[in-house]
Amino acid sequence: MWSFITSVIIGGVAGWLAGKIMDTKHSMLINIIIGLIGGSLGGWLGGLIGIGASGWIGSIIISVAGACLLIWIARKIFK
């Protein structure tokens, strides 16, 4: 249960930061979803190139990078 709550918190923070960086206007729920998916994407891509995250800060950095990439891809597809 604790890991789920931690993932949601990190996802929310990462989604919010990615929204600020990429200049989007989404609700908090969408930010959490973007952050969670971005965290998975960032973790997967980081693993491919040998970059790992440790602790809260590392997880947030990887999640923000993945969420920014996710927003960028979505803009390219839907624009």
Pull the structure tokens for residue 36: 């969670």
pLDDT of residue 72: 92
pLDDT of residue 44: 87
Query: Sign (positive/negative) of CA torsion 77, 71, 29, 59?
Result: positive
pTM of the model: 0.84
d(CA 54, CA 32): 20
pLDDT of residue 27: 84
Q: What is the pLDDT of residues 5-37, one digit of tens each?
A: 888 888 888 888 998 999 888 788 888 888 888
